[in-house]
Structure 1
Amino acid sequence: MTGTGSGTPLHDGTPLRVGLVGYGLAGSVFHAPLIAATDGLVLDTVVTSNPERQEQARAEFGDELRAAASADELWERADELDLIVIASPNKTHVPLATAALKAGLPVVVDKPIAGTAAEARELAALADERGLLLSVFQNRRWDNDFRTLRRLIADGELGDVWRFESRFERWRPRPKGGWRESGNPEEIGGLLYDLGSHVVDQALVLFGPAARVYAETDVRRPGAEADDDTFIALTHASGVRSHLYVSATTAQLGPRFRALGSQAGYVKYGLDPQEAALRDGKRPASDTPWGVEPESLWGRVGSGESPLTGGGRPTPTLPGDYPAYYAAIADALRGTGENPVTAHEAAAALDVIEAARRSARDGVTVTL
């Protein structure tokens, strides 16, 4: 790739100008800080119709930051931008990504890229046709525990992995409201699409395509509209079985990961610290440790005994590295690296999510 819709080369060392659409949780906590912390990227414009959020963005990123009330303002000056990041509600992802690509701009879309795999593949085809980058923000690939498990598997420390358990559980007995918990299908809400997008993506990255999908989804909390307690079982084409749990109703949290292999298992409790750090206003910097957790939270590798009774050896957790995603995006735009998460990969995860919806609805196992 040699340029954007403006025809400006992206390999001349000039910082790449980013337009961010949406300044709610995803935009303000994740995307804006990570973009601003990435060498070679500059946060140029934030799109939000909320005046308070506009002021919040300027307070953190400087008065030179431009604010727009509508994404249409970005398309009108597409030649001034090099990348669009879409961090708005799920139902807007497809129309906004389509508009950006048609304006000649590369795009990053927060997960899930779309409500269906077919829509994701249509976007991928449009990006390919225009010769533009289309990437999906699957930040949990750079969680500390996931990076550690990938390394353990690659190094053969577990032997052949037979079963993988992944939990993204919370205890939120009362709904918070908002579009993420809406029962309106147009909102693409519920945990299956939210946290499920993460655990499914991670399982596919680790163990390859799913051949069969079984799922159970429930709406547990009084007043809740969308699924808040969901289980997905995958049989991978490789033979590995993945059991994935996402829940807002878990009174006692299980291990984040439990990977069981022919030689050893890896058990890890606790969440990656990066989201909490970003929420607290901490920012990645080259001279400051980032994504590091205390030794007391390290997972254990071993066999024959529970880690809670001293089984296995403590295994250092690799630092989490969300900044690596946008560093890879900058490299891809400059033609010196690959797209870190493609729309085709996101479509494969949506195949699983759609199969899980059908499985839970009809009480069947779905073959892909």
Structure 2
Amino acid sequence: MRHDSDLFAEENGVKTKTFHKGALIYKEGQDSKVAYLIKQGRVAVHRIIGNKRVNLGERGPGQIFGEMGIISGEKRTANAEALDFTEVIILDRPLLRTMLVKSPRPVQIITGFLVDRVKTLSARITDRPSGNMFYSVCRVLALHYKAAAASAPRPGQFEISYAEVCRAIKDILLISQIEIDEIVEKLAKMAVIELTEIKSAFYRADPLLDTKKKGPEFVMDRSLRIPDQEKFLQVAKNLAKELRPLSDFSCDLEFMDLSDFAQEAEASPEMIYRKIGFREIPANLFFFHKPSALAYIERMGKAFFQRARRPRLKIEDLETVDDITAVDNATLQEVFSSLGFHKLAVLAALAGEEAQEKIYKNLSKKIAKVVQDESRNLGDVDEDEAAGVEQELMDRIKSLKGLAS
């Protein structure tokens, strides 16, 4: 089917250009030198805001995109990506201005008004994020590798497809393939990662001789391996600091994984898990990558999420009153019988909801009522007193279990 763009191209002899599916035609912040008129294919216009992709619309055959920068003289305010194989007609500033000048005066006035309106709306969306793109790429690479390695049959010999990891990086970050290649090459030169070329070749059939002739080899893909996952991010972080003054990248991840969170807090991931379980850390600090989370739910089945199995906690690992949820009832009843009402009330005031319920469950109804009332009337518990009572509880439990206090 012919479009107006076909007639335009024939009559004006302008240049055309093609983009494969997934190609980034331009990105936010680049100079606006040309606009594009779509002959065939589809183009998505979007912005990356707070590590999220905000879609601003799609363009199809006969529609123009990228014209705002030429009309306003400012840099690109969004990104354009080919959704299919796309062919466009390139419109430079003189050509676009000529088309505008030839249009009726009311159309020119409306166009100017729309330009100002779009600029205002675009500015309200958000400011452009900034940070260290080098380290952001390394973090996404580490997360992707870790997730893939977890399900590998032989973790020690595990490798991933370079093309696959590049797609994962571009799904999250606003970055071109050239920039990814540059970062990966730096990591390979530092021996932080290992890249292995996977070559292939085309075979041409000879109908006369009924044979196949092998053509020249080409690199079909590359496999990527991280020899030391534990040290990878630390080395990448040090490299990122050295490269920061020279870096032209201006986008960063707004989110960190749990390991990064623990590292910044100078704690172990296990401690962060426990604090999340005890609801000491607000739930709104943690997010799931939606495609990965939905795939995990589908793989595990919804029945898996209906019950939670408590990990077994060793007696020697008991630290706080909330840990008594891992202690058997008989032991707790014997320990509680040796503590006075006031100390039990202090423990109940310190305990979380689950541990508090276990305290009352292991007391007679009459005593539980007295402890509950006194706990409510305590007000602010003295920190030194609370620490002492909590330590006494731990010592008594461990002593009863045959462990030295």
TM-score (norm 1): 0.22
> Which one has more relative contact order, counting CA pairs under 8 Å at least 6 apart?
1
TM-score (norm 2): 0.21
Larger Rg: 2
